[in-house]
Amino acid sequence: MLQDKKILLGVTGGIAAYKSVYLLREFVRRGAQVKVIMTGMAQQFVGPLTFSALSRSPVFTDFFDQNTGQWHSHVDLGLWADAFVIAPLTANSMAKMAIGLADNLLITTYLSARCPVFVAPAMDLDMYAHPSVKKNLEILLSRGVHVIEAGEGELASGLSGKGRMAEPQDIAEFVQQFFLSSQELAGRKALVTAGPTYEMIDPVRFIGNFSSGKMGFAIARELARRGAKVFLVSGPTALTTDEPNIELIRVTSAQEMYSHAQKIFPQVDMAILAAAVADYRPAEQAQTKIKKSDQDLVIHLVKNPDIAASLGKIKRSDQLLVGFALETDNELRNAREKIQKKNFDFIVLNSLRDKGAGFGVDTNKVTFVFPSGEQKAFPLKTKAQVAQDIVTQIVKITNESR
Ligand code: C5P
């Protein structure tokens, strides 16, 4: 439950604001103390009186009370809260959060809040799919904001698609789970590898792959969310993170990733290897751009170090090693072989045959395979949800071995 938790509920101006009334009731039902901040537009959809009656507290709508002239301190509100939940979050307020445009009490409070921040976006499907909205959501994610994704279904516009605010019960459940699991990995340290590696052929060309880094970044975020200190060693990717619990180490080649992983591994309790490491690199890197000629070009490739196998060799009994396998055929047999060869505690298998799984996309469909041969298959989920499943499994193994 949310007994004694102080929740600041931010309501911005979308039609889903009516659902926030139910969300408020859900929080109260679970034992939370709730204060509400509304933007001007939100008040056009639902009156502050409804929220005030249900929260048994005045609703904050402006920097000062028009009637009494009393100043509402955004700093005090931010410090009061154990969680700031903004639902619905419109595209407009999302953009303001992303650039720090503090032109109302809600956004100003967001900028000064020290507590975890949750957002439940809600908008029309075309807005939700717009590159600027996607970019802003990415920015919020990279800063540690917890995003409760919009669902698919019928929208207020009459259109149908992705953009419906998550249901109040699901939002309340998400926040509750957060509190339940937030200290599970406190004091633990983790190494995560992510993204592709680039193996230079000459100063302007490389051998790479399509890995986006999304899965590894999602795992790093989930570990940090549960209290772990994370060393995230990532190959070239457009993603970034400013979370204080995540130390991002950017590398280019497999060899660089290998040397960082070797250095970090002895200090950590667990390593999750989600990087798509190039197995081979050019034997020599030309110092100048290779010129075109009439002849075919042959590049001699040599083997890269296998980071996973090297960590598997030095793994202590108190350490956990989790790997990934992306297979196109003989998935299970190959996964089992890899577990043995690399000394993994379990492997996350994704098959390129599954629609929506693999490189670049936001979703993944995985099966966990354990050294005993046991398997756990999951349906298609977002990468953030897959990261939750992986970290939940890690917590389970850690607790069992205590
Ligand atoms: O053998 P394969 O490349 O399929 O193994 C995949 C797993 O091993 C992934 O967890 C990947 O991050 C890791 N790996 C590695 N170093 C390599 C190749 C793969 O850490 N050189």
Indicate the residue type of 359. F
pLDDT digits (tens, 9 = 90+) for 374-391: 999 999 888 888 999 999
Q: Is 212 in the pocket of ligand 1 (CB under 6 A)?
A: no
What pLDDT is attached to residue 76?
A: 85
What pLDDT is attached to residue 329?
A: 82
Instruction: Determine which of 95-104, 285-294, 350-359, 379-388 has the lowest per-residue pLDDT on average.
Output: 350-359
- Hey, what domains does the chain have and what are their CATH numbers? 6-181 (3.40.50.1950), 189-401 (3.40.50.10300)
Atom of ligand 1 minimally distant from the CA of 274: 12
Q: Round to whole Å and give the CA distance between 296 and 135.
A: 42
Q: Is 137 in the pocket of ligand 1 (CB under 6 A)?
A: no
What pLDDT is attached to residue 13?
A: 96
Q: Is 234 in the pocket of ligand 1 (CB under 6 A)?
A: no
Q: Is 306 in the pocket of ligand 1 (CB under 6 A)?
A: yes
Question: What global pTM score does this model have?
Answer: 0.83
In order of 197, 281, 305, 379, the CA distances from 202 in angstroms are 15, 12, 20, 42
pLDDT digits (tens, 9 = 90+) for 293-317: 999 999 999 999 999 999 999 999 9
Q: Cα dihedral sign for 112, 117, 122, 128?
A: positive
pLDDT digits (tens, 9 = 90+) for 48-99: 999 999 999 989 998 877 777 777 777 888 899 999 999 999 999 999 999 9
Atom of ligand 1 minimally distant from the CA of 322: 10
Q: 1 pLDDT exceeds 90?
A: no
Which contacts of 379-387 are long-range, i.e. CB under 8 A and separated by 24 or more positions?
A: 380/354, 380/355, 380/356, 382/149, 383/214, 383/215, 383/218, 384/147, 384/149, 384/218, 384/221, 384/222, 386/215, 386/218, 386/348, 387/215, 387/218, 387/219, 387/221, 387/222
Q: Is 209 a catalytic residue?
A: yes
Q: 362 pLDDT exceeds 80?
A: no
- Distance, CA 305 to ligand 1 centroid (Å)? 10
Q: Is 312 in the pocket of ligand 1 (CB under 6 A)?
A: no
Atom of ligand 1 minimally distant from the CA of 347: 10
Atom of ligand 1 minimally distant from the CA of 305: 21
Q: Is 7 in the pocket of ligand 1 (CB under 6 A)?
A: no
Check 67, 92, 136, 209 and give the catalytic one.
209
Give the percent of the chain with pLDDT over 90: 80
What pLDDT is attached to residue 119?
A: 98
